[in-house]
Structure 1
Amino acid sequence: MLKSMTGYGKAEAEAEDLIFTVEIKTLNSRFRDIIIRMPQEFQELEMDIRKWIAERISRGRVEVYIKTEPIPDRAEYEVVLNEPLAKAYMDVFNRIMELFPVDSSVSIDTFCHLRDVIIQRPKERDIEKLRLSLKTAIEKALDSVDEMRKREGMMLQEDILKRIEKIKRSLLEVKQRASVVVESYRDRLRQGVERLLQGQEISLDEDRIIQEVAIFAEKSDITEEIVRIESHITQFLNFINKEEPIGRRLDFLIQEMNREVNTIGAKSQDAIISNFVVDMKAEIEKIREQVQNIE
């Protein structure tokens, strides 16, 4: 089953006093390119995020946006003493006492009012809990992305199969026409020579006619091209039903089909076959455009 490279998913997950919001957008690209936008404080999880995404997506541009929002009633804080700063203040107080002896002492209340000596800060979060929560949000977002890619892939597959059928019908017409092209050429050649020899005492050289027809048949023979296109179509249809990324393979087969059709057009000297070649090239080009969006 085909998967499109275009998708979008969004999910949330809670971790301690935070809510992770993850948005993932996937776009067309020849190779896998993962772009991550996230708060600086969680950069150490970037390699994990890349690994989780690479396990699910093999091709395309992947844009990941991660935001965090605090949960106020779950926030936990700790109060700590900034010991180096407190010691520096105390050294200054002692020096003042030495320089200007006065009957004074430094109270706890004084220290509590000194800037940055007593620090209140959020407790350090458990990185493993954060990793598990973030993975949950990313997996949920990827599930949504996958569903969207599958839906669009089904539409692409339906359109591509219709165009493949058109190519098969045109190819059948070419095959049937090719079998009578040589005979038609022989008849036209004979008629042309007979008109030229009419009224002259020169007999028709049957051997030369046969020779010219043989040369024409060899130059215009498209049997191999037809067989190869039929083989490419069979492979193409087999790949479509595989449960794996097949975009590059389909792209290669379409290029090969286009090359064989071009060869038929170059070899053919028949207007009817040329018309079918134009039809097949048009369908192949439309399929090629669709294949560019397949994973």
Structure 2
Amino acid sequence: MVYSMTAFARQQADTPAGQVIWELRSVNHRYLEPHFRLPDSFRELEPALRELMKKHLNRGKVECALRLQSGQQVQALNLNQPLLKQLNQAITAATASVPTAAAANVLDILQWPGVMENETVDAKVVQQATLQAFEDCLKTVSQRRAREGQSLADLILQRLDNMSSLVAKVEAHLPEALAAQRQQLQHRLADMLGERENAANPERLEQEMVILAQKADVAEELDRLRTHIQEVKAIIKRPEPIGRRLDFMMQELNREANTLSSKSLTTVTTQAAVEMKVQIEQMREQIQNIE
């Protein structure tokens, strides 16, 4: 499957410490290059985050931003009931022994060390939820990259079909082009040598035609173009990162198109070669975004 390297995804999850929000932005790059913007309390997660990313993505520059929204809620407080019971018994006993002593204030009791307990947050639970949200966000990025990659593959296949039509057009035109070139050469020799001498020297005409045919023979280039087109179609079906391989194939296609243009005998072949290079350049631009 073809994957694009361009995508965006956002994922959020509730944790005991608040809501974590991930935002991932992916663009094309030669290698896999993640950049993390994390709160200080989440820095230790970066190695695990990198390992998760390698499981889902192969190439691309990926900006990963994490935000923690703790909200305005007050942290829950718990009463230490056993200690509170002991304090109450002690106050009751002290009041019975010293009737003139002032009764204990409730706020004073609550301020006694250990009576009020803040609800502690399990850091491992928060980290696990954060990692899970990150992986869910990665899956969304991968799905969107696959969807865009399929669109890119369709565009490339369409242009490959256009190139196949151009190759067939040039091949069908070759006999006509060689015949026209033979006639043109015959007229040129007639002008240079005269009609009588030209008729008396058919060997020279044949020699010139052989030389011209060798220089203008593009059968090999057309065969290589067809082979490269089929290879690109085969590469697109591979279940692996294919961007670099496709980029190399575009170079090979462009080389054959340039050679075809340099050997052109007619405007038909020249125009076909130029159109091939246009199609190749359009594919090359799209391939820059393929993983």
Q: Normalising to structure 1: TM-score of the pair?
A: 0.79
2:162 matches 1:166:
yes
Residue number in structure 2 paired with 1:56: 56
Find 2:137's aligned residue among 132, 141, 144.
Answer: 141
Q: 1:194–1:204: 8 Å Cα contact kept in structure 2?
A: no
Q: Distance in 2 between matches of 1:35 and 1:69?
A: 21
- Unaligned ranges ≥5, structure 2: 79-107
Q: 1:17–1:71: 8 Å Cα contact kept in structure 2?
A: no
Q: CA deviation at 1:231?
A: 1.1
Q: 1:17–1:74: 8 Å Cα contact kept in structure 2?
A: no
> Which amino acid in structure 2 is aligned with residue 243 of structure 1?
P
2:243 matches 1:272:
no
Residues 150, 170 of structure 1: alpha-carbon distance in 2 compared, 3 angstrom cutoff = same
Residue number in structure 2 paired with 1:16: 16
**Deviation larger for 188-197 or 167-176:** 188-197
Residues 122, 59 of structure 1: alpha-carbon distance in 2 compared, 3 angstrom cutoff = farther
Partner deviation per Cα, 1:250-287 (whole Å, 9 max, x = no partner)? 11111110111011111223221001011111111111
Structure 1 stretches of at least 4 aligned residues deviating more than 6 Å after TM superposition: 120-124
- Residues 9-158 of structure 1: matches in 2 within 5 Å? 9-70=9-70, 75=75, 125-158=121-154
> Which amino acid in structure 1 is aligned with residue 62 of structure 2?
V
Residue number in structure 2 paired with 1:247: 243
**Deviation larger for 176-185 or 137-146:** 176-185
SS in structure 1 at match of 2:200: coil
Q: CA deviation at 1:67?
A: 0.8
Find 2:223's aligned residue among 227, 242, 248.
Answer: 227
Q: Distance in 2 between matches of 1:75 and 1:235?
A: 63
Q: 1:17–1:72: 8 Å Cα contact kept in structure 2?
A: no
> Which amino acid in structure 2 is aligned with residue 159 of structure 1?
L
Residues 155, 199 of structure 1: alpha-carbon distance in 2 compared, 3 angstrom cutoff = closer
Q: CA deviation at 1:124?
A: 6.7
Q: Distance in 1 between matches of 2:68 and 2:281?
A: 45
Residues 38, 121 of structure 1: alpha-carbon distance in 2 compared, 3 angstrom cutoff = farther
Residues 131, 190 of structure 1: alpha-carbon distance in 2 compared, 3 angstrom cutoff = same
Q: Distance in 1 between matches of 2:266 and 2:163?
A: 18
Q: 1:193–1:204: 8 Å Cα contact kept in structure 2?
A: no
Residues 40, 272 of structure 1: alpha-carbon distance in 2 compared, 3 angstrom cutoff = same
> Which amino acid in structure 1 is aligned with residue 228 of structure 2?
H
> Which amino acid in structure 2 is aligned with residue 165 of structure 1?
D
Residue number in structure 2 paired with 1:216: 212
Count of equivalent residues: 260
2:206 matches 1:205:
no
